[in-house]
Structure 1
Amino acid sequence: MPVDVLAEERRVHEDQAMILRVAVVDPLPMFRHGMMAVITAAGYGAEEIDDAVSWAAVPERRIVVLTVQTLADWTELDAICRGSAGNGVIAVLDRPEPAAYVRALRAGAVAAIPRESPPEALRAVLNAAAAGQSLIPTDALRGLTEPESDTDADRSPSPDEVAWLRQLARGDSVAEVAGRSGYSERMMFRLLRELYARLGKRNRTEALIHAQERGWL
């Protein structure tokens, strides 16, 4: 076989080895496949995976694009970042509030992006991550660098209230939380409603997602 053919084959294998592998984790197949098409068009290797934590733990340069909508998603984000062997996570936020950006970045994500972003925004964030950089909105950057405001401090739950939220997040009933706290079930419902209102949330689900974003759970 001619030397130039061998050299060309070697170059092709090297180029394939250099392609950054990007896993997409999203509950909707159509949305997931759309992101994979954008990623592939940008020159990266897009994949669907079953276990993002194990996939990211491989000591090879990889990026996970993870949609974060529920408490379980935030837990998965934390787990990926803790065991990712230096690989990156881009959080796709269903609720792109500054606090959600800050929560994702503090957990270890290299970037975050709203779920309704156009394809070019995803490409820009992915290209930056591949280059070892991060595109961060100004509000999120400010949230990372500024101390907590007095208003936020006033709305933060007490240690007891954090304990209630943690118990609810793990699946305990209001009756069980009330029993451990020494309140009647009726009183606990009232205290929790007051807590949700103080946090600016309409119900338990919104309050728990907010608590997870804030790092209270």
Structure 2
Amino acid sequence: MPTDMLSEERTASRTTLALAVHATDSITARGVEQYFRAFEDIEVQEPGREMDAEVLLVIAGEVTDEVIDRMGWVAQRSRVGGMRIVLVASDIDDWKLVRAFDHGLVCFMMRSTATLAEVRDTVLASRAGRTELPGSIIRSLIDRMQSAQQGVFAPCGPDSAPDAFSPREIDVLRLLADGWDTVEVACRLNYSERTIKSVITHMMSRLGLRNRSHAIAHAIRSGVL
């Protein structure tokens, strides 16, 4: 079973969510940590214990290579498995977004419009497996894929071919890319939630994908979204 699904089962019984905060400036980091410490259902990890977090919240202006590298460094050392990353930033280019997916990104929020309350809701929703990406971000990636002839966004290898995904998997991925959770996807496709989770689990296991956002990125690079 993929790490993403195992992590959901492990964290379902926890009463508090272990959260680590990384911001590109210390004032923002302290303010956000103080905000989240006021909630009993969230346990903010102390500096140096980021690897014990279920969710890593990253707040930045410009998403630089250093920001992406920090995500990867924490994710690679995660002690919980399947760490989810929520990124709040001014913008992000396509290449860095794909790299962030590979490190465990599940949600991206625009810093100019996101409130702390909305960030908290997104952090909690990410624990349940919800993927949230602005439509403009998805559209940009799709447009890049459709116009690219070669390079990083071009399909590569047998598992990147469009026929690596079944029609039902593509339907599920399209709805996940729109931000729907598994319950909502099941309702829209007229399946049970168990069936949707089974589709996702089988797809991630077959293609070696780490989480749902990684699956979305893989599908975009394969040209099926």
TM-score (norm 2): 0.48
User: Which of 1 and 2 has greater Rg?
Assistant: 1
The one of the two structures with greater contact order (alpha-carbon pairs below 8 A, sep at least 6) is 2
TM-score (norm 1): 0.49
